[in-house]
Amino acid sequence: MADLSEAIRTALLTGDKRAKVMATRALVRDWRKGRLPGGFTVSMPDSPAWPDGLEVLPPGRMPKRGKGGNARNRIALWHSLAHIEFVAIDLALDIVGRFGAEMGDAFIADFLGVAADEAMHFALIDRHLATMGAGYGDLPVHDGLWQSAMDTAHDAAARLAIVPMVLEARGLDVTPATLNRVRSQGDSRGAAILQRVLDDEIRHVSAGASHFTKVCVQRGIEPKNHWKRLVKTYFRGVLKPPFNDSARLAAGLSRDLYAGIA
């Protein structure tokens, strides 16, 4: 019988969008029901599989997205959101497969839950794209999110500091404005999807912050200053306002944590 790491590796190397969602849901369900042994016998791939024909560009070469409410701009917006959630499936799976043996059962449970959430988010968004006559894979995407994962593949603390506590936390900042724009366009279904994503992302960032603190304490390192050092070392962008302080605080990120390096 395959163990947890083998099931995760298989899901990561599944490129078809629907098959990846189904493989992720199945492994999380099997692990929760005790049908999947919790061993870590195989390594994680350097890169996950994505859909055949998906055009992947460097972040700097991505076409600029318009902000108007016409059909083309709406499709571009939702396609971008779909890609974020699709890569988020791989990020959540990889963090478990790569660091689960070191970090323990609570970490595994939290981030398998994140993986299941991201699979659900992607499925909802891809179905919403279908109502516009589009689907994930129709437009170019970039690999910046996965590059951040590879930059931090050697250290659980670095991965937690960058992926949940910077990249996902940025989603807490920008999603409310996107939600308001979608609502103003009369897209009530899209607004409901974004509200669900925002609510779930608060929990995801909270899990990241909590486990980051735990690993720092285990290593005898002061969390706040270590997080700032890791961000300066591994985050390629710039932390800049506006920040959604209330959502960040709900996720365990105090303003004094990130304000000093914004």
Per-residue pLDDT, 27: 97
Using pLDDT thresholds of 50, 70 and 90, give the confidence band for residue 126: very high
Using pLDDT thresholds of 50, 70 and 90, give the confidence band for residue 260: confident
DSSP 42: S
- Backbone phi, psi, residue 4, to 5°: -60, -45
Whether 93 and 28 have beta carbons less than 8 Å apart is answered as no
Per-residue pLDDT, 59: 79
Q: β-strands 56-57, 141-142: how paired?
A: parallel
- Average pLDDT value for the chain: 95
Q: How far is CA 128 from the centre of its chain?
A: 19
Using pLDDT thresholds of 50, 70 and 90, give the confidence band for residue 94: very high
Whether the predicted pLDDT of 136 surpasses 90: yes
Query: Which pTM value belongs to this model?
Result: 0.96
Per-residue pLDDT, 68: 67
Find the mean pLDDT for residues 232-261. Answer: 90
Using pLDDT thresholds of 50, 70 and 90, give the confidence band for residue 261: confident
Find the mean pLDDT for residues 51-60. Answer: 90
